[in-house]
Chains A and B, each alone.
Chain A
Amino acid sequence: MCFSYDDDSDLYARAQSFLADGAAAGCQLWWIGDLPPPAGYVTTAVSISAAYPGNAVIDPEAQLRQYAKVTSAAVAAGFTGLRVVAQATPLVRTREQLDAFARYELLIDRYMATHPFSAICAYDRRELDSSAIDELACLHPDTNAPVPFHLHGCPPDGGAAALTGELDMTTDELFEVTLGRLSFPGDDEVVLDATGLRFADHRALWRMNRWAAEHDRHLVLRGAGRATARVVDLMDLPRLHVEAIA
């Protein structure tokens, strides 16, 4: 999940219950960040400024491989999985960092959906502006920062990613930024699990069609509502397709 905080004690409170649940479930527990780990649970603590000096830009694929390796090692060592609290603020300070981190989020969400790995990504609101927090929050399925829509990784059989919530003029800018960071491997159609997409106005649909055209892909909203299908049909958006719910 994405957890933003402006008081360290809020982070500790949330992290402790997350880690306690993980300990009870037999997970290996990692603490990544510059704050000291809470007493008791943590098996491994990593300083983030040591791991990522300066304004390092994350390598999404390499980071994913790293967590996959650690998760496998934890399971091999007899744990049920890996559970991580990562204070990721130093990794999302610049636009370039945010772009890379967004791609990483989609990869790690997908990995989490099918592997015994779970994490809290913690962001310090005192160091990031609110638009950066929103840009991160909407990439997580679960967050304490309320955003009207989410675009996050999902199990592979659901699609390339899941799009949930409501899209309208109030989310137009955020959605444009989020779409701009999306890239999926391959050259075939990109299926989004849209069963949780409650509403998308014609601007958002136009933006999705344009994304598909710019990437030379076709975008499929699987499980969206019939009203969305009707609007797409009306607007003549050749790159956007809706497989509506029955």
Chain B
Amino acid sequence: MEFATGGDMYARPAAAIRSYRQLLADHVAAGAGQIRIIGELPASAFGPTWDSWMRYESAINHAYDDFPLWSMCAYDRRTTPAAMLADVDRTHPRQARPDGTHPAIEAYADPESYLAGMRPAPPDPLQLTPPVADLADPLPGRARDAVRAAGHEGISRDEIEDLVVAVSEVVTNAMLYGRAPIRMRVWSGPDRVVAEVTDTGPGPKDPFAGLLPIGPEGPGGRGLWIVNQSCNHVTMARDPDGFTLRLTAGVPH
């Protein structure tokens, strides 16, 4: 039996997948034939980053397929709001009942369809104010400079530099795989910097894009995964006008 604290394991959804995959690989290498995990999301997941945690919950139905794993996610029905429990139903194939049975959940959606849905997260309140930068078709270098200029003393230099990395990769992806025009906006608040990049293409085809690691075969292809490892909150939205990624450094709202 191994106990891991939620804060370490669940800092960011894609980082949790990376940590779990390493943990599982280590156990298998040590000879484990079967691994069982009971995990519980930390209180911080039940807030503005909820959408990304539900994407995580959906993705892990597939993300550990190559390991001999049975896993159970614990949710406290007394404190979890009904709307959130409905999301939990959509991302979990079975429910463990106190009587020992595991009936299928009717509302469950397989990860491919759930993740392809990309329901937009509510806007950060900062986004209702004028952005500090609004760039048309920026090259990655200009996008990086806009984020560097938006940094302030309320947010660490490391967090800004991680957002610089993320924004550069997102704008690169928009140029390589998306469709012009590309628009980038940046908002700066007391405890965070928010950057949003929209292109007029359909967004990534792979529903697991950014959540699962990709091998080291070629020079590119891991940008969105690095973005998800580097930002405290990443949202994706697709609408008739295009595809939008929103990245938050600092405290998500």
Contact B219 A166 (CB under 8 A): no
Q: How near does chain A come to B213, taking the closest CB pair, in angstroms?
A: 9
Q: Which residue of B lies closest to A233 (CB)?
A: B229
Contact A227 B216 (CB under 8 A): no
Q: How many residues of A contact B (CB 8 A)?
A: 22
Cβ–Cβ < 8 Å partners of B168 in chain A = 168, 199, 201
Contact A166 B144 (CB under 8 A): yes
Per-residue contact bits, chain B 173-214, to A (CB 8 Å; 1 contact, 0 not): 001100000000000000000000000000000000000000
Chain B CB within 8 A of A218 CB: no
Contact A168 B226 (CB under 8 A): no
A239 to B218 Cα, complex, angstroms? 15
Stretch at the interface among A94-102, A153-161, A202-210: A202-210
Chain A CB within 8 A of B141 CB: yes
Contact A227 B162 (CB under 8 A): yes
**Chain A facing B: main interface SS:** helix
Contact A236 B158 (CB under 8 A): no
**Chain B facing A: main interface SS:** helix
Q: Which residue of A lies closest to B159 (CB)?
A: A227
Q: Which residue of A lies closest to B144 (CB)?
A: A199
Cβ–Cβ < 8 Å partners of A236 in chain B = 216
Chain A CB within 8 A of B230 CB: yes
Contact B172 A169 (CB under 8 A): yes
Q: A201-B168, A226-B158, A230-B162 are known contacts. Are A168 and B220 too (CB-CB below 8 A)?
A: no
Per-residue contact bits, chain B 138-175, to A (CB 8 Å; 1 contact, 0 not): 01110010000000000000100110110011001001
Chain B CB within 8 A of A9 CB: no
Q: A168-B172, A234-B226, A235-B216 are known contacts. Are A227 and B144 too (CB-CB below 8 A)?
A: no
Chain A CB within 8 A of B222 CB: yes
Interface residues of B in 90-146 (CB under 8 A from A): 139-141, 144
Task: Give the interface size bracket for B toward A.
Answer: 20 to 34
Chain A CB within 8 A of B223 CB: yes
Most A C-beta atoms less than 10 A away, residue of B164, B165, B172, B229: B165
Contact B158 A203 (CB under 8 A): no
Q: A201-B172, A206-B216, A237-B216 are known contacts. Are A168 and B140 too (CB-CB below 8 A)?
A: yes
Contact B219 A207 (CB under 8 A): yes
Q: Which residue of B lies closest to A172 (CB)?
A: B219
Q: A169-B175, A201-B172 are known contacts. Are A227 and B161 too (CB-CB below 8 A)?
A: yes
Per-residue contact bits, chain A 173-204, to B (CB 8 Å; 1 contact, 0 not): 00000000000000000000000000101110
A sample of 12 inter-chain contacts (CB < 8 A) reads A168-B172, A169-B140, A170-B140, A199-B164, A199-B168, A202-B169, A203-B220, A225-B161, A226-B158, A227-B164, A231-B230, A236-B216
Report the 5 A-B pairs with minimum CB-CB distance, sorted nearest first.
A227-B161, A203-B219, A168-B140, A206-B219, A169-B172
